[in-house]
Amino acid sequence: MANLNRRGIPMPFVSRARRVDPPSSPDPVLTEPRPATRNSMVDSAIYADGVRVASPHTLAETYRALDGTPGGVAWIGLYRPSEQELMSLAEEFSLHPLAIEDAIVAHQRPKLERYDSVLFVVLKAANYLDVPEEVDFGELHLFVGPNFVITVRHSESPDLSTVRHRMERERDLLALGPQAILYAIIDAVVDAYSPVVAGLANDIDEIETQVFGGDALVSRRIYELSREVIDFQRATHPLSSVMVALERGTAKYGVTEELERRLRDVADHLTLVNERVDGFRYLLRDILTVNSTLVSERQNEEMTRLAHSTHRQGEEVKKISSWAAILFAPSLIAGIYGMNFHNMPELAWPLGYPLAVLAMLGLSTLLYGIFKRRGWL
């Protein structure tokens, strides 16, 4: 016989065999007080016809309030719940153990999986931080059943309190049931992508200014922004498959025409976001190529200036060397005859002086002609 929970729902996956009742008369010496379990519940409410009729503070109170509200819908919001809390929800609402495992481990990609009458949806929220100019990502898991919605957050974002307040104001929409709550949450997540797109677009504009301004650190910023765009793309692109799966199931699971229109509107917004993100990736790739080209051009210009400077220095060295050689010849002759040794017969020779001067001029002229012909002077 199939295992049933106290709502009469079949439970083929989750066993209650682990629950052991305490003995009727425990030994007071051996019994120790159990530590208080951390309550991760952010908000919990029971709705009937779009109106909040109960606000339980614990999971046990939520179960009792839902049992006492015919046609009621429970919306349970949890923030980083413990494994014990998730197992309690699994037992109460017949949640599949694989979905519970994903909710415990987290770090899942956006997806939609259907386990009998329960939907398990993973969403990636994104928030643009102005001061550090970076994107902060959050993860949200949803269990959507015939009469309940369970949201499990593993980060501060998204803030679902605004979604809950919006739905409580739009009672006609909330009266459509758990599918309407799922729509509202997805709509809020997708709407939050728009400021991220605007922030990334502004960063790209700043990077273009840096590239053409010759900023040496712009390559690192291009790389970091490219990584953020890729992470953002990983959050938005798989969500398109989730929207397609929801649209395919609208007729089978009795989704109203109004809710179908709203889901299509969310899908359209998501398509625009994905197109912008794809454009960012191509644009950053082109900017990186342009930056590499500009860096190469600046390096070539620097090498050309260095080559010109080296050439000019070589020309100056040639001129200095040429004049040094020209002046060295008469200095050599003058130095020899300037030693004034007694045994130098040329000192008493009447033609010695004019011949020495003539030799100096002739040798200097000869060297000048040679260097001039070679282009050194």
- Encoding tokens for residue 369? 């002609």
pLDDT tens per residue across span 143-187: 999 999 999 998 888 889 999 999 999 999 999 999 999 999 999
Q: Is residue 343 domain-resident?
A: yes
Q: Which is nearest to 61 in space by CA: 49, 44, 48, 86?
A: 44
Query: Residue 334 maps to which CATH number?
Result: 1.20.58
Q: Give percent above pLDDT 90 in the chain.
A: 48
Structural domains in the chain (count): 2
What is the rounded CA–CA span in Å between residue 23 and residue 270? 56
Q: Is residue 364 domain-resident?
A: yes
Q: Is residue 286 domain-resident?
A: no
What is the rounded CA–CA span in Å between residue 371 and residue 210? 51
Q: How confident is the model at residue 279 (pLDDT cuts 50, 70, 90)?
A: very high
**Whether the Cβ atoms of residue 52 and residue 168 lie closer than 8 Å to each other:** yes
**Whether the Cβ atoms of residue 160 and residue 192 lie closer than 8 Å to each other:** no
Judged against a pLDDT cut of 70, whether residue 322 lies above it is answered with yes
Q: Which residue has the higher pLDDT, 20 or 299?
A: 299
What pTM did the predictor assign? 0.71
The domain boundary residue, chosen from 151, 172, 193: 172
What is the distance of C-alpha 173 from the center of its chain? 35
Residue 347, pLDDT score: 65
pLDDT tens per residue across span 91-125: 999 999 999 999 988 888 999 999 988 999 999 99
Q: Is residue 247 domain-resident?
A: no
Judged against a pLDDT cut of 70, whether residue 219 lies above it is answered with yes
- Helix, coil or strand: residue 156: coil
Q: Which residue has the higher pLDDT, 34 or 295?
A: 295
Query: Residue 68 maps to which CATH number?
Result: 3.30.460.20
Mean pLDDT on 220-228? 90
Question: Residue 89: phi, psi to the nearest 5?
Answer: -65, -40
Domain that holds residue 315: 311-373
